[in-house]
Amino acid sequence: MQRSWTAIRLALFLALLLLSTVGARAEAPFRDLPFAEALKAAGKEKKLVMVDFYATWCGPCKMLDKNTWKDPKVQEWLAEKTIPLKIDAEKQRDLASQYKVQAYPTMVFIEPDGKVRGRLRGYLAPQQFLTQAEATTSGDGAVGVARTALKGRESDPTARLALAEALAEADQPKEALEHYLWLYDNGVAQDPRFAQARATVVLGAITEISKKERSAREALTVRRAGLAAQILAARTDATTLDDLPRLDVALDQRDSTLALFDHLKRKGEGYTDARRKIGIAISDLLYEKRRYRDFVECTDNMAGRLESLLSRAVTAKASADSLPTGDRKRTFVEQQLVAVANASLQGYEALLGSGQRAESDRVAQGLLALDGGSAMFERLAASAERAGESGVAQKWRGLIGSQSPGGTTTPADSLIRFDEG
């Protein structure tokens, strides 16, 4: 699937949480301005824009809020030097992507013309922030500041990452690659908390460099070959099984992951767990190729998980429907419900296509409880057709218009049990 069950369940949880919270305006020291207006203000006041890109679930972001942003000296510096903004990167994804934000918190210092002067990452205590922010925004340059900060901290993944990013932004890809590869190979051993950044920020940066530097692709290829050898020798751990599919994505060779997935099946029972783990990573590819049985087998109790997810989605929808159209909370929840419906339709199709009719019927019932409109009947029909069940698709289309005046469906038994006649 495009989004894992875990990711979709988390998104739905956040949607439910949002319904119970009140939207907050910017608090000191931050200004309540749109980004474009902040750039204009920075030009008029001859300052930089500083954006604190955060996420609501991010622990270090909350520590910044609690300690650093409340410090009087930090507030004074920000007011004097910057137009400070606080932006939820998961709500303004385009802006976060534009400024290459891949981990939280990231503080980006931006010129009035939109160019980056420098950036800081991670939690910084008040004095740390002041020292590094002053150096980053001064004439010393981000690379020089990062080199100085790394001295005596060579094993600190965060400090080395800052230098790698500064080098990449300064168009020094070869040296940046050296640091990124060190981080990929050694970062987690130095600090287990670096695992997420390694899988996203570091690998993403190496992939980007590989578009210009052949040596970056060669380095990824060597590491991928080593992982494949470990898996085939049954010397695997969770990291190995996570890394190989990610490397194949970076190398644009996902069919190689699929080939290994099939090879592990031929190797026998001793490789079942490894094969399942890899299958989860390429579940969207299995679905795309209509390998429904493999798709279903790689998720424990798919039908039960989807039923639970849809039940929670119905609860979230009922709460969201009570809010005015256009309300930001309602809009956010509706976006998550679309993701839930899309994932559930894929699950319905896969269950039906793999011959699990009763299970697919239960998922369909949950989908109709979420949305009993004619569009859902048509989507169920399209899913059944794609699964090769043209008879089921025809029955779904025959039921379009069977909704009651209130928008709900007729009794479930008359809609769902296609296998009975």
- The catalytic site residues sit at 58, 61
Helix H, strand E, coil C: the string for the chain is CCCCHHHHHHHHHHHHHHHCCCCCCCCCCCCCCCHHHHHHHHHHHCCEEEEEEECCCCHHHHHHHHHHCCCHHHHHHHHHHEEEEEEECCCCHHHHHHCCCCCCCEEEEECCCCCEEEEEECCCCHHHHHHHHHHHHCCCCHHHHHHHHHCCCCCCHHHHHHHHHHHHHCCCHHHHHHHHHHHHHHHHHHCHHHHHHHHHHHHHHHHHHHCCCHHHHHHHHHHHHHHHHHHHCCCCCHHHHHHHHHHHHHCCCHHHHHHHHHHHHHHCHHHHHHHHHHHHHCHHHHHHCCCHHHHHHCCCCHHHHHHHHHHHHHHHHHHHHCCCCCCHHHHHHHHHHHHHHHHHHHHHHHHHHCCCHHHHHHHHHHHHHHCCCHHHHHHHHHHHHHCCCHHHHHHHHHCCCCCCCCCCCCCHHHHHCHHHC
